[in-house]
Amino acid sequence: MSIEVLSTIFISYLIGSINSAILISKWQRLPDPRSKGSNNPGATNMFRIGGKRLAVSVLAIDIIKGIVPTWGSYYLGFNATEIGFTALACCLGHMFPVFFRFKGGKAVATAFGCMLPVGVTLGFVLLTIWILVFKKFGYSSLAAIVSVGLSPLATYLIAEKYLLPVSMLAALIIIRHTPNLIRLINGTEPKSRQRI
Question: Is 179 inside a domain boundary?
Answer: yes
Question: Is 32 inside a domain boundary?
Answer: yes
- Cβ atoms of residues 140 and 122 within 8 Å: no
Residue 1 has pLDDT above 80, yes or no: no
Q: Rg (Cα) of the chain, in Å, rounded?
A: 16
Q: At what angle do helices 163-176 and 108-115 cross, to 10 degrees?
A: 170
Sign of the alpha-carbon torsion through 119, 67, 141, 50: negative
Residue 195 has pLDDT above 70, yes or no: no
Question: Is 72 inside a domain boundary?
Answer: yes
Percentage of the chain beyond pLDDT 70 is 97
Question: Is 194 inside a domain boundary?
Answer: no
Contacts 24+ apart (CB under 8 A), 123-129: 125/154, 125/158, 126/150, 126/151, 126/154
Read off the pLDDT of residues 33-88 as tens digits, 9 standing for 90 and up: 999 888 889 998 999 899 999 999 999 999 999 999 999 999 999 998 999 999 99
Tally of domains within the chain:
1
Find all residues with CB under 8 Å of 104, minimum gap 6, and list them: 17, 19, 41, 93, 94, 95, 96, 97
Per the structure, the complete domain to which residue 62 belongs is given by 3-186
- Cβ atoms of residues 117 and 71 within 8 Å: yes
Question: Is 115 inside a domain boundary?
Answer: yes
Question: Is 81 inside a domain boundary?
Answer: yes
Per-chain mean pLDDT for the chain: 92
Question: Is 192 inside a domain boundary?
Answer: no
Question: Is 191 inside a domain boundary?
Answer: no
